[in-house]
Structures are given as C-alpha cells and as structure tokens.
Structure 1
Amino acid sequence: MVFSSLEFIFIFLPVFMIAYAAVRKEYKNFVLFTGSVVFYSFGVKKPVYILLFLLTVLLNFIVGQFIEHSRYTKKLWLTFGILFNFWWLIFFKYWTFGTENINHFFHQSFTVKDIILPIGISFYTFQNVSYIIDVFRGKAKAEKNLINYGAYITMFPQLIAGPIVTYDHVAKELKSRSHAIHRVEDGLKTFTIGLGYKVLIANQIGGLWSDIAMIGYQSVSSRLAWLGIFAYSFQLYFDFCGYSLMAIGLGRVMGFNIPKNFDHPYMSLTMTEFWRRWHITLGSWFRDYIYIPLGGNRKGSKRMVFNTFIVWLFTGLWHGASWNFVLWGMVLFLIIMSEKFWTGKTLNKIKPLGHAYMLLIIPLTWLIFAITDFHELGIYFKRLLPFLPQKTYAVMEGDYKEYWKDYWKYFAAALIFSTRLPEALYKKIKNSFITVIALLAVFWASVYCMYKGLDDPFMYFRF
C-alpha cells in the first residue's frame, strides 16, 4: 500500500484517523503502533518479515535499556545492537551482490539466492541504530515504554521511505503532543501538495523515461536522450519530495513535527550545496554517525578527504547493492572535493555559472544512478555526447519533437515547482479560499489519475 493509492486514501487513512481520534491521549501511541504494523503488512511479500520487523523493535528497545543502566558493559551492548541491526541489512540487501562478486572475481560457484528485500529496512535500520547510539552518548534517555518506542520506529508516515527521524527529535511528542484543528488542516494541505508532486508531476514526466527505455537507448537521438535524463531527474525529485511532504503532512495531523527533507536542491550552485538540500535527513545521519565520529574536518585536510570518501562510499552502497551506485558515490565524492579545493568559490560567486554547471552535472550524475548496467550506461552517455564514437543505430529523425509535444507541460510544471516561487506564493495565500479550491483541484485530479491507473510505486521504496 502506498500513499498515492485509492486504498490508502479512501480506506486505510479514514479508518485509522477515526480510531486515532476516538481514543484518549494515553492510547494514541498504541493506535499508531498497531495501525503502522497493519500498514506495513500490506507491503510485505513474506509474513515472516513482519515478525523480523517487530523483533528489531523489541530488541533495540531492550538494548537501549541495557546501555542506559549498565555501568561497565555499555560498549558491549552498543556493539551488539549495531551488529544486530546491520547484519539484517547486509544479509537482505547485499548478500546476493556479495556472493555474485565473489563468484566472479574468485571463480567460485557459491549458490546465489534471490533474496527479497524487506520494504523500508534501510530507513528503520538507521533509526534503530541512531537511537541506541544517542542513548550511549547520553544525547537521549532510553524509552521506558515499549509502545512509545514501537510507535516511533513503526510510524507509518515515515516508515517506508523516510524522512529519517532521530529519537530525540520526537521524544517529547511521543509522550505529549497537541492535537488541534489548525494542525490537521495544515497537515492535510501539505499532504495534498505532496500527492500532487507525486501523481501529477513525477508520474507523468516519468513516462518519458519509461518510453525511452522501451525504445532502447541506442535508438534515441541526442536531443531526446537529454530530454529523457532531465525527465528522470525531475521524476526522482518530485517522487521523493512528494513522499516526504505527504509524510510530514500526515505526521502533523497526528501531532508530530517530522523534519524537512528537501530544500529546493535544483536551485543549488554547487554539488556540495545540492547535497545539503537533498535528502537532508540522510545527510544529517551520515554526518552525525559516521563523518563526525571519524574525526570530521578536525584532523587536517587529508583526514577530511578520507572521511568524506567513506561517507560517499557508504552513501552509494546505501542506495543499492550494485556497482553503478558505488561509481555514483565515487563520482559525487570527486566532484565535491574538486569544489572544496578548486571550483567552489568561483561557482558560488558567479551565480549564472553555478546554475549552468549544475544544469549539466545534475542529470549526468543521476544517469549513473538510474542505469545499473554499465554497457547500457555507456550507450546512453554516448547518446548524450554525440561527438563520441558511435555505433550505427536506427534513429528516428526528429523523435524529440514528438515527445516534446506530449511532455512539455510537465517539464514546465516541474521547472516552476523546483524553484522557491510557488512556496513563497503559498505562504502568502495559505489560508485563503483560493488555496482551498486549488488544493481540492489537485486532490481530485490526483484521484482521477490514480483511478485511471496512472500511478507508480515510489522510487525510493527499493532503497
């Protein structure tokens, strides 16, 4: 079940909200915990994964207690908790990848099983690990109520694809939070905006990327190839940003302040700035739990470069068990280091140059992210850069014109809503009657698209 589905909007959400509103404050976390497990069960392909999910909740709750109350074995319990959490992530996400590469490089024949990845495991693993580390550091008190901790980890708005919420961010709200009509109204508006981002922009413009994949990368013109990778860039942004806004909106309805996850990243002047604005909670997690513990930038330039390398290696691997994600992380590391030592000041100072640079670099890096097969990736790069040596392929002359006629309106919408202008306007007229009418139009247009089957799963579910 996904947020952008008729089942969620017209069945699960109303039933959950009625139950949530009907109980007293002391039982709301129980309803949230129970409802979230039910929500999770709809997306799980193997029932045993639900038991594993609940086991991780219980075990991390217990580990947190031992860490807080143990005098001499804190590190031992912390180590056990980290190993337990990452073992399951490694097994489900990287075991097949690791076995295939061992077979390839060492000429072995170990059996490779197609292991189904439990949905959301990357996100709830990071939240569990951040919790026990924060308890160890004394940054957070261990949660004494299992239901409260379960509600924190399983909270369905952010369970499947974030934002990654650290325990200290919601600790007070788990025990006492306000439920007011203006918060419900504001949350529903935010949810609707996210729904529009996902269904009316991401899904629609993503059709061009799907069309190109069906044609075959070798059979598209250079101009259509550029249109395609720009379409994918916009699709990825509005898909993930849309999910994050829906999560934030639902959290607000229930009295939680889920952190912001995107800050108009496509308006950045450098890749360094871009990754401060894109998936903000993931970047904060890597900063707080890997980069800073490794020494950050406190031990000189060489150590800073090494620490940044480790962060981007892990960032690439976190997104997927495939060599293209490793390459993607390494390319971003090299770009960010070049900005750190050479180009960054100039790009920030000369804004038109910075925007032109990002206009080129963003789609090229997303291309590495999008195509897992290196052979196909090479073909697409050559299509983008026609001056490179090309094999002879059948390309329909003027193909980009036909697709531009179908997709130009989605490009226009994506470009406009990538800027700060719509947000600035929304803040001014947020409480006006015009805004209510506009959001109702967005909601019912989204419902119509979902009814017609013009919907896709969220792209970050596979991470």
Structure 2
Amino acid sequence: MEFSSFIFLYCFFPLVFVLYRVVGARYRNVMLLISSILFYTWGQPQYIILLIFSIGVNYVLGLLIEKQKREGIRKIFLILDVCINLFFLGYYKYYEFFAKKINAVTNHELLSINNIVLPIGISFYTFLSLSYIIDVYRKNSKSQKSILDFALYISFFPQIMAGPINKYHEIEGQITAHPINTSKTAYGIKRFIYGLGKKVILANTFGAVTDSILREPASQIGTGLMWVAAILYTLQIYYDFSGYSDMAIGLGKIFGFDFIENFNYPYLADSVQDFWRRWHISLSTWFKEYLYIPLGGNRKGNLRTYLNLLVVFFVTGFWHGAGFKYIAWGLFYGVFLVLERMFLGKWLRNNKLKFINHIYSLLIIITAWVIFRADNLHIAVEYIKIMFIHSSGHYYVAKFIDTRITIFIIVGILLSGILQSLVKKLKWAVYDEKKIYITESIAQLVILFVSIMMLVSSSIKSFIYFQF
C-alpha cells in the first residue's frame, strides 16, 4: 500500500487515525500493530509469515541474550540471530544474483533460478531487528518483554517500507509511551502534506521525463541531454525519498512518535563526507554505529581507516541491491571519502572559494546517481562517457524539456535547499512544531489539492526505495 494511493489517503489512514483516538491508551499499541500487519499484508500477503517469523526469532533471542550471564553463550546467541537475519535477507535479495553469475561462469545451471519476489521492506526491518539485538547484547537497551510492543517496533507501518531506520536504543522509550497532542498532530499532518507534494508534484514529474529520455538507446543521447537526464534524476530521487521520509515522520508524529530526520538538504553539501551526513541519515548513522566503529573506525591508523571506509561503502552499495552497479556506486563514494581523508578534505576546508567545493560535490553526487539509475554497470559507463566526452546524439533537449518542465526544474533546484538557506524563516516554518502560520496553511491546502488532482489524472508510482 502506497502512502500516495487513494486506498491509503481515503480509507486506511482516516480509519486508523479515528480508531487511534477512540480506543483507550492501553489498547493503542495493539491497534497500531493490527493496522501495521494489515498494511503490510495488503501489499504482499505471501510474506506476512516471514515478517512474523522474523519478529518471533528476534524477540526470543533478545530475551535469551539478556537473561544469559556467560559472555560466550551471549555471543553465540548474537551470532545466531545475525546469521538468521542475514540468511533471509541474503536469500530473498541476493540468491538470484549469485545463482545467475555462478551459472554463467560454469556454463551450467548449477543453481536454479526461482524468480524470487523481494519482500517489501526486508532491508529495513532486517536492520531494525539487528539494531535491537545488538543494542541488547551491548547492554545499551533492555530486551523488550512485550512481544506485541516489539512487533510494533519492527512492523510499524510508517517506517517498515523504507525507513527511517530508527535504532532501537533511540526509540525504545517511545514504544510504550508516545503521547499525542494537538500541536504534534498538526505538525505531523503538515509534514505528511509536504512529503506528498514532494512525491506527487515534483518527483513523479521529474521521473516521467527522466524515464522518457533514458528509454532511448545510449548511443542516441547527446551530452547535453544526458546532463539534463542526470540532473532530473538527481532531483527525482531526492524528492521521492525525502518525500517518503517526510510522510513517514509526519505519520509518526500523528501517532505520538518522534522519528529521526533522514535528510538535511544534502545537495548543499560541500564535500562527499558532508553529503553522507545529510543524505539518508538513518542509514549512514546505522552503518557508522554497527559496522564502521566495530571494524575499528579511525582508531587503528590511516590504512585501516581507509579500508574500513571502503568496506562500509561496499556494503552500503550492496545493501541497496543485487548488482555490480550498486557495488560500483558504493565504492565510487568510498574512494572519494578515502581521498578526502588523505588530502582532499584539508584542501576543501582551506579553500576560500567555497562555491568550488559545492561544484565538486555536486559533480560527484550527480555522477554517482547516473551509476545508480542505469540498468546495469555497462550502461552506466556509457552514460558517464557521454556526459564527459562530447556527443551530439540524435535528439534535441527541447524534445523532452518544455516551458512547464523548465519551471519545475527551477522550482526543484530552489527548494532542494537554496531557497531555505537564503530565507531562514522558510526553513524554520517547515520544522516549527509549535506555531501554525496562515500563509503556510494556505500553501499546504494548495499542495494537497494539486497533489490529489495529479493523482487522479495519473497512475500511482511507487517510491524508488521500495525496491530496496
């Protein structure tokens, strides 16, 4: 079920909203859990058993780890839990990738291809589960005694599909105590509407043009048009994913939860390191806390730090999908992070012409998104060649970009952080949970109206991160 679908906007959400306020506080978690299970079942009923099994295994092993006093046994339980979680993630997400490669290398069908459908949200709820079990093992958190409350943490419908990935020790107190009030609800509705507008008005518009351009053979796309497609996709994925995160955060607020912010105007970054402090914050902090630091972080010398960064971004890339292009995308960032650690970061910090830092960052980011968007690594290389080695191509930019799309691009670029940095009051108004501004309320009504009209006139387009 999509947040931007009519079944969610007109049926599911209003019903859950009303019931949540009608039932007593004692039963609200049960009501949210039932709603979350129904929400997940609507999209993939065949995988609800997998979700329930995952919840049960992590709940039991969490209790066993906390109860056990012997460190060796605790570690065995931890390893068992991690292996179980990664086994299911690996099977559903990566089995076919490896099977195809092994069969191709051996020229024999050693492994059967089962056409496995990826369970929605498995990458995200697997990381939620791992966060819980590691926090309990580290004694940063107590195990959750109520299986219903634990199941809600894993399956809560605003976050299960594509995050934010709320680490257990950051949110455990909210699971049992998440009071609601008028200002929090109003703010949640505001964030949801902004997220809906980002997705429906901006991301879907950019996505439609990007798809129409990249549908053409690479050999027929010229340098100018390729840069247009790259910029459009850069805008599309930002508004698509940050729009989803806004909607998830808004829904969380409506039901009394405070989710971690997932974006902080990432295209204002002045380095690759700064970009990853601003983009998909819940994922980057998850990897930092549960992978980078345990590997040694930057505490074991420069060479080990560089290796740790490359490992983390190899895993980051592979987490996004089973394909060499995702690995290349992750390592592409990893290499620049290593370079910034070695010497480039110092140069950027000392550079007085800061606009050069932003141009450098945007070039890396846009190029990385081309790798991410391409159908495969070979096509990604072709696209990048076209971008940086002049090619005339067969199509004029005007075939795909008219006045309307040009206005959308200008608006998209301005709202990606430039306008907010120039007009501070605009940024404060968006994140203000206490005040309701009349002009902002009017803007929200306009955004909601336009979003609904655009949804009526077009088909529902899934969020990009649902495929991960």
Q: Please state how far the C-alpha of 1:456 moved relative to its aligned partner.
A: 1.1
Contact 2:178 2:257 in 1 (8 A): yes
Shift of 1:426: 4.8
Cα shift readout 1:261-282 (whole Å, capped 9, x = no counterpart):
0010000011111011100010
Q: State the distance in 2 between where 1:29 and 1:177 align.
A: 10
Q: CA deviation at 1:324?
A: 0.7
Q: Tell me whether 353-362 or 282-291 shows the greater mean CA deviation.
A: 353-362
Q: The residue matched to 2:304 in structure 1 has which SS?
A: helix
Cα distance in 2 between the residues matched to 1:93 and 1:371:
19
Looking at structure 2, the residues matched to 48 and 186 of structure 1 have their Cα atoms a distance apart, in angstroms, of 35
Please report how far the alpha carbon of residue 455 of structure 1 lies from its aligned counterpart in structure 2 after TM superposition: 3.9
Alignment correspondent of 2:61: 63
Q: Is the 8 A contact 1:127 1:153 kept in 2?
A: yes
Amino acid of the residue matched to residue 208 of structure 2?
A: G
Q: Name the CA distance, whole Å, in 2 between partners of 1:215 and 1:308.
A: 36
- Equivalent residue for 1:52? 50
Query: What corresponds to 1:23 in structure 2?
Result: 23
Contact 1:203-1:454 at 8 Å conserved across structures: no
Partner of 1:439: 444
How far apart are 1:77 and its partner, in Å? 1.1
Checking the alignment, whether the CA contact within 8 Å between 1:39 and 1:156 is kept in structure 2 is yes
| Cross-structure match for 2:242 | 241
Q: CA deviation at 1:440?
A: 0.7
Shift, 1:401, TM fit: 6.4
Note the residue ranges of structure 2 that are not aligned, 5 or more in a row.
none
Is residue 251–residue 257 contact of structure 1 (8 Å, CA) maintained in 2? Answer: yes
Contact 1:267 1:419 in 2 (8 A): yes
Alignment of 1:40-439 (within 5 A): 40-44=40-44, 47-72=45-70, 73-110=73-110, 111-348=112-349, 349=351, 350-387=353-390, 395-396=394-395, 398-400=396-398, 403-419=401-417, 421-422=419-420, 424-428=425-429, 431-439=436-444
SS of match in other structure, 2:113: coil
* Whole-angstrom distance in 2 between the partners of 1:406 and 1:113: 44
Match for 1:412: what amino acid?
I
Partner letter of residue 306 of structure 2? Answer: V
Question: C-alpha separation between the residues in 2 aligned to 1:404 and 1:426?
Answer: 30
Give the partner amino acid of 2:455.
M
**Distance of aligned partners of 1:304 and 1:320 in 2 relative to their CA distance in 1, 3 Å threshold:** same
1:374 shift after superposition: 3.1
Q: Which amino acid aligns with 1:359?
A: L
**2:199 is matched by which residue type in structure 1?**
K
Q: For residue 395 of structure 1, what is the amino acid of its counterpart?
A: H
* Letter matched to residue 130 of structure 1: S
For 1:8, give the aligned amino acid: F
Q: Which amino acid in structure 2 is aligned with residue 436 of structure 1?
A: S
- Retained in 2: the 8 A contact 1:223–1:400? no
User: Counterparts of 2:237 and 2:172 in 1: how far apart (Å)?
Assistant: 31
| Residue identity matched to 1:194 | G
TM-score relative to the length of structure 1? 0.95
2:8 corresponds to which residue?
8
> Which shows bigger deviation, 297-306 or 257-266?
297-306
**Deviation of the 1:428 alpha carbon:** 4.4
- Take 2:400 and 2:114, find their aligned partners in 1: how far apart are those partners? 43
| C-alpha distance in structure 1 between counterparts of 2:378 and 2:53, whole Å | 41
For structure 1, which segment, 283-292 or 107-116, has the greater mean C-alpha deviation from structure 2 after superposition? Answer: 107-116
Cα pair 1:220 1:399 within 8 Å, conserved: no
CA–CA distance in structure 1, aligned partners of residues 207 and 121 of structure 2: 23
Structure-2-length-normalised TM-score: 0.94
- Distance, in Å, in 2 between the alignment partners of 1:94 and 1:451 is 37
2:457 paired with 1:457: no
Secondary structure at 2:401 match in 1: helix
Distance in 1 of aligned mates of 2:329 and 2:429: 39
Note the C-alpha offset of 1:218.
2.1
Q: Which amino acid aligns with 1:56?
A: S
Q: Percent identity?
A: 35
CA distance in 2, matches of 1:402, 1:165: 40
Conservation of the 8 A alpha-carbon contact between 1:224 and 1:400: no
Where in structure 1 are there 5+ consecutive unaligned residues? none
User: 1:213 Cα deviation (Å)?
Assistant: 2.1
1:194 deviation in Å? 0.8
1:218–1:380 contact (8 Å) kept in structure 2: no
